Structure 1
Amino acid sequence: MWRPPASLPPQPAAGEVAAALRRLAAFLGRALPLCRAHATQLYAGGLWQRLVAAPPDAVLRALRRPLREPSGADGGAWDDDTFSNVFCENSKKLINVHLFALAVKYYSLSHLGVCTPLEELLKALGGDNQGSTGIKTDEFMNNKKSHEVQVMSQLVDKIANYCGIKQCNSEELCEEEKAQRKMASIKAKASKSSESNLYFPLTSYITAETELGDIITDLEDCIMVGLHTCGDLAANTLRIFTAKPEIKAVCSVGCCYHLLSEQYENQEDCTEEVWGFPMCQYLKDKGWCCGRNARMSACLALERIAVGQMLPTDSLFYRAVLQVIIEENYGVTKSERHVGKIFSKSSSFLDYVRKSLKKLELDDSKLPDSCIMDYYEKYKHRMNELEAFNMLKVVLAPCIEVLILLDRLCYLKEQDNIAWSGLVKLFDPVKSPRCYAVIALKK
């Protein structure tokens, strides 16, 4: 760790972040078959037999037990070699579930040591520790969003003050000015005028090449803030920040990793020039690809599941058995159509299958009720297989998210116009699973 000028908190050095990324990528490289598998194909594709050596009940017991460190080692003695035997070198199957769970802990952001504590950053940025907005957000937001806005607005206020960005506090406007602004807002909305000096929502596709002055005519020095920037918007936010001199800082919390575009996912469809992943040079050089199913897994919420908010196993079980039915009876392995949320509208497995086949435009008259129920009876005793499979993916999910976050941080470390960059855990992960912010300030 080194301390940049002007009393900003220590930040992880570029080499330190790159080393953490390389170590994590090496572990995930072995876990990719499990990352990329989808519960829909569990029975139809024989995924359990292909990917996991232990029986499902043994996996569930191992994941539910308290984690114990490897025999003869303390926390400081762990290294990457400790986890080299999680997967079989020849079969690629998962063979040591307890070590697998320990590996996920070992490669977490907190253990990798590349995060900056929020309290440390707030203290370094200066000012008092009181909330900056004075707005009671819980009066017009749900608990999750209120929590996010309260925490993030305090941090953004301090970053703005630190960067010398001019702000306007609306709890300080006189009543006359409030009335004037309200009237101006009404007129602007009525005329949809683009000449108003008021700020109002804009809908525009923005890239690093976009001239922001064409969109915001009175743009001055500013901060770019994104709360749950969806898919590629998170990556583009960072690129815009590095490209535009008027943007002095960025605070971005991403989400919806499954909507990221990946440069090395579909080589035949390479029509884009700018991709959401990877961003850093190391992963680009390696041609690293997570795949959509892995990115879907990164959206799972391990902390919520740990406090009892379980995955919808019944609906996933129905969908996995349905996949067997449509492959064996209709020869369909892929379809442009999706089943969607039919489970919640179905009274039984039979009803679910009938409605699903209709939505998929498959002739359900060729399947008698008895045939459909035979499938249910055949697989119902294997539901624990599905539960164990999903838990493995949930446990692995944070590692995939960390890879994406470290990729973004490494990208910032590669730029030469940035004074400070880091990852900060902003939110309670139970309330807001996507809780990490990528933060950077220009020189």
Structure 2
Amino acid sequence: METSITKVHQHLDRILKYLNPLLPLANCHMVEFFTENHWEKLLPKNLIQTIDKWDLNSAVEKFWTYASEPKKNNNCELSKWIHKAQNHSLSVNNDYCISVEELEQHLQCWGGSVLPEIKITEFMTSKKSYEVQRMSRFVASLYNATSSTHCMEAGGGRGHLLVALTLGYNVPSLTVDCDDKALKNAADRVKIIQKQWRAIAKKITNGNEELFIDNKQCNIHRFATSFITNKTNVAKIMKEAFPEHYENDYKVLLTGLHTCGNLGPDSLRIFSSQTSTTALFNVPCCYHLLTEKVDADLFDVFQRDYGCGTSEHGFPMSEYLRGYNLGRNARMLAAQSLDRVLHYRQLPDKSLLYRALFQIIVKTHLPKSNLKDGKLKKIASKCDNFTQYFKMADKVLSLGLFDRLPDSYLTDVSNDLHCQWKQIVMFNLLRLCLAQVIESVVLLDRLLYLLENGYRKSYIVKLFDPVMSPRCHSIVAVR
């Protein structure tokens, strides 16, 4: 235990030493790119000088090349920037961050066997189908290895994961969510899936797809409406949902596929504090919805509706990082995917450029105004150039600037769109390199929390392909 904690401490120390000087970059607002001169103030001068030598196409192509070849030794400043960030991101080490193959070995050591995958191609997107197929067999295998009696999904919404658990693996399961309407729709969907199960589900054994011969038990996938916090009593909810099992002890595997914001940390706290939970299998999501001490007022809509009085901050969780803050924009950046951007060669949307240019005009002529960006989110797609964007944004916000300003002023603001666009694109890509670094801090903090509380069988598992499912890591722990 002490060895694992020490290794995580050392890993975090190395990441934070690299990340801390770059947090102003991670927390900047792209809206203020020009007005706050982000290009000059937030990037190293030698990196700027290197990029300035290239045109946009050359710079972008070099970025794709260097980011796709992490082991390539190159003294170019752009290559150094990319590879340094990659070297400070969490990777499989077969110690506390393990692969799927390592997870299979652990499951066998814990007394379980790895069950075959179940493929469901209907009633869910291809992304969700992939995630359910990949995750459900490990949850079911962990359920058996820990002699659990029930599975509880935190924030399950549509109940996709538990459909596979109940119909494919015969695991009595409960989906808990605070959205009553979503749960009602999910319950109706489960009934339809159950009727068509033999036609839409396949069991995959040694790469071969097989039809299901038997129908699994009916009525073992149930739903409960509740806003989950760290104080939620798992045993009580399970007793209410499965009263026929009341005389037996409830041994609950607590799971969640992409638990948003504080729901992930609260799930870990429930597992740590309640002996009725036997194991944890949690895939986190939406780091920007976590709460930190620095921005505790920025709650999401569900937290506003249900209140946050019983919840602790979502970050940090560990004693080791107590008092440390990332910042909301940094956490929002952590939810972006460099892997997906690389795979699809995605460049930022022109709206970033137009909004930043519009900010120059607003700050110059209406310095005390407080614009609400939400009203401007969809207008860039309707515009062919910045002039159209300015006119439409001015009308939406009723600022009265477009007709007051001469055409010459507008020309001056956007006098070098090609250079401005190049800076926006490259700045966005360079900043994106920090996304996985920040996510690594969040994940290691959660793992460290479990280790600090005595759960030595705790691991980060790289579960999904990061292109298919960018939030690809899971937290797995056994009591």
Indicate the TM-score class for this superposition, using the shorter chain for normalisation: 0.7 to 0.9
Contact map agreement 2:222 2:241 (CA 8 A) in 1 = no
CA shift, 1:200, in A, is: 3.6
Sort the Cα spacing of 1:225 and 1:169 in 2 relative to 1 into closer, same or farther, 3 A: closer
Q: 3-state DSSP class of the match of 1:377?
A: coil
Q: 3-state DSSP class of the match of 2:399?
A: coil
Sort the Cα spacing of 1:172 and 1:97 in 2 relative to 1 into closer, same or farther, 3 A: closer
The separation in 1 between residues aligned to 2:74 and 2:439, in whole angstroms, is: 29
Indicate yes or no: 2:479 matched with 1:435: no
The separation in 1 between residues aligned to 2:133 and 2:292, in whole angstroms, is: 33
CA shift, 1:419, in A, is: 4.2
The separation in 1 between residues aligned to 2:167 and 2:296, in whole angstroms, is: 48
Contact map agreement 1:57 1:388 (CA 8 A) in 2 = no
Sort the Cα spacing of 1:321 and 1:332 in 2 relative to 1 into closer, same or farther, 3 A: farther
Contact map agreement 2:254 2:280 (CA 8 A) in 1 = yes
Aligned to 1:103: 84
Given candidates 293, 300, 307, the residue that maps to 1:263 is: 293
Sort the Cα spacing of 1:172 and 1:230 in 2 relative to 1 into closer, same or farther, 3 A: closer
Question: Residue by residue, what CA displacement relative to the aligned partner does 1:88-114 show, whole Å, maximum 9, x if unpaired?
Answer: xxxxxxx95433222222212227664
Indicate yes or no: 2:289 matched with 1:298: no
The separation in 2 between residues aligned to 1:387 and 1:261, in whole angstroms, is: 30
Letter in 1 for 2:450: L
Most deviating of 137-146 and 151-160? 137-146
The separation in 2 between residues aligned to 1:45 and 1:171, in whole angstroms, is: 55
Most deviating of 143-152 and 33-42? 33-42
Indicate yes or no: 2:98 matched with 1:116: yes
Sort the Cα spacing of 1:57 and 1:308 in 2 relative to 1 into closer, same or farther, 3 A: farther
Aligned to 2:318: 280
The separation in 2 between residues aligned to 1:392 and 1:333, in whole angstroms, is: 30
Aligned to 2:180: none
State the percentage of identical aligned residues.
34
Letter in 1 for 2:419: H
Indicate yes or no: 2:228 matched with 1:245: no
Aligned to 1:401: 439
Aligned to 2:237: 215
Aligned to 2:116: 131
Aligned to 2:227: 205
Aligned to 1:414: 452
The separation in 1 between residues aligned to 2:283 and 2:169, in whole angstroms, is: 29
1:30-41 to structure 2, matched below 5 A, reads 30-41=21-32
Sort the Cα spacing of 1:215 and 1:111 in 2 relative to 1 into closer, same or farther, 3 A: closer
CA shift, 1:395, in A, is: 1.2
The separation in 1 between residues aligned to 2:450 and 2:228, in whole angstroms, is: 19
Contact map agreement 1:337 1:360 (CA 8 A) in 2 = no
Aligned to 2:394: 357
The separation in 2 between residues aligned to 1:253 and 1:71, in whole angstroms, is: 35
Sort the Cα spacing of 1:128 and 1:230 in 2 relative to 1 into closer, same or farther, 3 A: same
User: How many residues are aligned here?
Assistant: 387
Sort the Cα spacing of 1:120 and 1:268 in 2 relative to 1 into closer, same or farther, 3 A: closer
Given candidates 124, 128, 142, the residue that maps to 1:141 is: 124
Question: Residue by residue, what CA displacement relative to the aligned partner does 1:112-170 show, whole Å, maximum 9, x if unpaired?
Answer: 664111112113313555525x4x42122211111100111011011000011236853
CA shift, 1:373, in A, is: 4.6
Aligned to 2:423: 385
Sort the Cα spacing of 1:361 and 1:403 in 2 relative to 1 into closer, same or farther, 3 A: farther
Sort the Cα spacing of 1:70 and 1:198 in 2 relative to 1 into closer, same or farther, 3 A: closer
Indicate yes or no: 2:19 matched with 1:15: no
Q: 3-state DSSP class of the match of 1:300?
A: coil
The separation in 2 between residues aligned to 1:71 and 1:317, in whole angstroms, is: 31
Structure 2: gaps of 5 or more residues: 151-164, 171-186, 192-218, 243-249, 300-307
Letter in 1 for 2:167: S
The separation in 2 between residues aligned to 1:69 and 1:172, in whole angstroms, is: 45
Contact map agreement 2:107 2:114 (CA 8 A) in 1 = no
Given candidates 167, 171, 183, the residue that maps to 1:170 is: 167
The separation in 1 between residues aligned to 2:24 and 2:369, in whole angstroms, is: 19
TM (norm. structure 1) is 0.78
TM (norm. structure 2) is 0.73
Letter in 2 for 1:149: V
Contact map agreement 1:279 1:411 (CA 8 A) in 2 = yes
Aligned to 1:159: 142
CA shift, 1:50, in A, is: 0.8
Structure with bigger strand share is 2
The separation in 2 between residues aligned to 1:350 and 1:100, in whole angstroms, is: 35
Most deviating of 231-240 and 362-371? 362-371
The separation in 2 between residues aligned to 1:172 and 1:421, in whole angstroms, is: 24
Letter in 1 for 2:136: S
The separation in 2 between residues aligned to 1:361 and 1:327, in whole angstroms, is: 15
CA shift, 1:309, in A, is: 3.8
Letter in 1 for 2:15: L
Highest relative contact order (Cα 8 Å, sep 6+), 1 or 2? 1
Indicate yes or no: 2:19 matched with 1:28: yes
Sort the Cα spacing of 1:71 and 1:48 in 2 relative to 1 into closer, same or farther, 3 A: closer
The separation in 2 between residues aligned to 1:387 and 1:264, in whole angstroms, is: 29
Sort the Cα spacing of 1:357 and 1:201 in 2 relative to 1 into closer, same or farther, 3 A: farther
